[in-house]
Amino acid sequence: MTKPEDPSRVLIFDTTLRDGEQSPGISLNTQEKLEIAQQLARLGVDVIEAGFPITSPGDFDAVQEISRSVEGPVIAGLARTHVADIDAAWNAVRDAARPRIHTFISTSDIHIEYQLQTTRDDVKGQARAAVAHARQYVEDVEFSPMDATRADIEFTAEVCQIAIGEGATTINIPDTVGYTMPHEFTAFLQKLYELTPDLRNVVLSVHCHDDLGLAVANSFAGLLAGARQVECAINGIGERAGNASLEEIVMLLHTREPAVGLSTAVNTREIARTSRLVSRLTGYPVQPNKAVVGRNAFAHESGIHQDGVLKERTTYEIMDATTVGLEANSIVLGKHSGRHALQQALADLGFEITGQGLNTAFKRFKEIADKKKHVTAMDLEALVTDELREEIAGYQLEWFDVEASSRRPPHAIVGVRTPDGEEVTGSFTGDGPVDAIFRAINSATGSEARLREFRVDAVTGGQDALGETSVVLEVGGISGAGQGVSTDILEAAGRAYVRALSNAIRRRGIMAEAEAATAAAASGSPVRTP
C-alpha cells in the first residue's frame, strides 16, 4: 500500500485475526475467521492481518480462504525473516486482490541476546534478506523491528533504513511489551524520523500493547508524531493485556476530528456489530464499562446525568450511540414472521444465507420466536452465530435430562453426538444442575476436562431474553473456549461446554501441526510476534 495522498488519512490495520487470536483460550477455525474478516471488510478497515501462515496448516488455510473470499481491504500474512515463513505467507495471500507480506525481527538487545541468540549484524542481514525476498512476491511489504521501544534507537533506525532500501512500503514500530509512555513514544518517533532519511517516503505505523493500559494513548501519540497507520484489534484483544482497541482509536479520531485533523475510512455504524461478533466467536466478553462498545457506555445512572440527557443529549454524551451502531436492538421480527422476512432481516444485518443454511436458521428462529414475544436484531446475530458454531463443533449436545432439588444433589443425563456421528450418553451428579451437565458430558465423551471459567449473559433485556453462556475449560493443559445461546440457560451451558471441549481438542491438533511445521522448516528461533 502506498502512502495516502491525504496527509490527514489514517489507515486502520486490524490484527484481530492474528494478534487477537493469540489471546489465551482463543482458537478460531477457518469458518469463524472468514466470518470475522467479512465483517471487518464491511466495517471498512484498510488492512486485515489474517494470520501467521507458517504456524500451522490450519492458519495457512484460513489466511488463504480470506484472501480468496474477502474483497476491499489489503490482506496481510505475518512472517518471520525466515525464507520458509515468507514463502508460506506469499502462498497464503497470493490470491488476494491486494496482498501484503508483513515480516519482522527484534532490534532490542534483550531479544537479540536471549531470544534470537544472535548479533546485531545478523539482525541487519536477516532484515535485508527478508524484505528483498518478500519484494520478489509483492509490492506491498511491511517491516517491523520488534520490541523497538526498548531498543537502541540508532540501531533500530539503521535496520529500518535497510528495510526501506530493500523496498519496504510500511515501517511499523511496535511497543511489543506495552512498556513505553506517550511522551516517550512521541520523542522516539521524532528521533526516528531524524535518523531515517527515507522514513517520510513510506507509511509509518504503530503497534502498541496494553500492558500498562496505554495502548490507545501511545497509538494516538504516534499519530500526532506523524504515523499514519494504527495496528489495533476489535475489543482490544491480543497477547497478554491486549492491543490498542480499534473502536476506541476510531471513535477518538471521529469525535475529535476538528481538533486533531485526522480521520479514517471506517463505517462507525458497524462498530457495535463487529464487537459483538468477535466477542461471541472468541468467548471474550466485553466489560460493561468498556469505552464505546460496553453496555454501560451510553447508560446514565445518576439522576443528575439522566436529567441532563433527557433535556439535551450532549450535556453528558460526547458521542451518539447510533454512530457506533448501538441502535441495532430494535424489534425486527415476531413469531408470525415468515422465511422471507427472516432472510431479509438477516441480509440487513450482513448475513447472506440461502438454501439449507436458511432452513436451519428459520427452524431455530421459530423455536426462539415461540418463546419470545419479539426477536431483535441482536437476537438474530446471536442465533446466526450460534448456528455457525453448530456446524463446526466436533461434539454436539443432542439432549439432556436434569433432576434438581434442594433436598438432594442434582443429577444429569446427556446425549452427545461425537465427531464420527455416534451418539454417546453419560450421567453424573454435581453441585448444581449446570455442574451436573458438565460432568455428564465428560462422562459421555470420556474426557477429563476441567472447568476454568463459566459466565452467563443476557443477549437483550426482559424475562424472555436469550441467555448466552461462555465456558473456558482445560484438557491436558490445553484450554478451549465455547459459547452457547438459548432461552434455556441449561441448554446454552451444555452447548457451550461441548464446543469448548471440541475447541480444546482441535487446539491440541493445531499445536501438534505447528510443532511439525516448525520442525520441517528447521528454523532457529521460536515464534514470537510484534
Residue 458 inside a domain? The answer is yes
Residue 288 inside a domain? The answer is no
Q: Encode burial over 466-484: b for 16+ CB neighbours within 10 A, e otherwise.
A: bbbbbbbbbbeebbbbbbb
- Shared-domain flag, residues 205 and 127: yes
- Shared-domain flag, residues 275 and 182: yes
- Shared-domain flag, residues 139 and 24: yes
Which range is least confidently modeled, 252-261, 278-287, 325-334, 438-447? Answer: 325-334
- Shared-domain flag, residues 66 and 179: yes
pLDDT at 465: 75
**Confidence bin at 157 (pLDDT 50/70/90):** very high
Average pLDDT over every residue of 19-40: 88
pLDDT digits (tens, 9 = 90+) for 178-195: 999 999 999 999 999 999
Which range is least confidently modeled, 1-10, 202-211, 351-360, 515-524? Answer: 515-524
Residues in CB range of 82: below 8 A, 6 or more apart: 54, 130, 521, 523
Question: Pick the residue with more confidence: 503 or 123?
Answer: 123
pLDDT digits (tens, 9 = 90+) for 43-69: 999 999 999 999 988 899 999 999 999
Tracing cell 440461502 back to the chain, one arrives at 354
- Shared-domain flag, residues 424 and 277: no
How far apart CA 274 and CA 200 sit, in angstroms, is: 33
pLDDT at 69: 97
Indicate which CATH number applies to the domain containing 414.
3.30.160.270
For 313, other C-beta atoms within 10 Å of its C-beta total 14
Average pLDDT over every residue of 18-40: 89
Residues in CB range of 259: below 8 A, 6 or more apart: none
- Shared-domain flag, residues 263 and 354: no
Average pLDDT over every residue of 103-124: 97
- Shared-domain flag, residues 195 and 341: no
Average pLDDT over every residue of 17-26: 86
Q: In this model, does residue 371 exceed pLDDT 80?
A: no
How far apart CA 263 and CA 274 sit, in angstroms, is: 20
Q: In this model, does residue 342 exceed pLDDT 60?
A: yes
- Shared-domain flag, residues 263 and 403: no
- Count: domains in the chain: 4
Residue 525 inside a domain? The answer is no
Is residue 374 within 8 Å of 331, Cβ to Cβ?
A: yes
pLDDT at 476: 86
Domain that holds residue 166: 11-282
Q: In this model, does residue 25 exceed pLDDT 90?
A: no
Indicate which CATH number applies to the domain containing 62.
3.20.20.70
Residue 309 inside a domain? The answer is yes
Residue 522 inside a domain? The answer is no
Q: Encode burial over 115-136: b for 16+ CB neighbours within 10 A, e otherwise.
A: ebebeeeebbebbbbbbbbbbe
Is residue 397 within 8 Å of 494, Cβ to Cβ?
A: yes
- Shared-domain flag, residues 53 and 170: yes
Q: In this model, does residue 329 exceed pLDDT 60?
A: no
pLDDT at 245: 98
Q: In this model, does residue 303 exceed pLDDT 70?
A: no
Q: In this model, does residue 325 exceed pLDDT 90?
A: no
Is residue 142 within 8 Å of 101, Cβ to Cβ?
A: yes
- Shared-domain flag, residues 20 and 108: yes
% of the chain with per-residue pLDDT over 90: 59
Residue 524 inside a domain? The answer is no
Question: Pick the residue with more confidence: 303 or 431?
Answer: 431
Residue 196 inside a domain? The answer is yes
pLDDT at 87: 98
Taking CA atoms, 165 is separated from 101, 137, 141, 144, in Å, by: 16, 16, 12, 14
- Shared-domain flag, residues 271 and 310: no
- Shared-domain flag, residues 218 and 309: no
Last residue of a domain, one of 222, 257, 282: 282
Question: Pick the residue with more confidence: 359 or 208?
Answer: 208
Q: In this model, does residue 215 exceed pLDDT 80?
A: yes
pLDDT at 284: 84
Residue 289 inside a domain? The answer is no
- Averaged pLDDT of the chain: 88
pLDDT at 44: 98
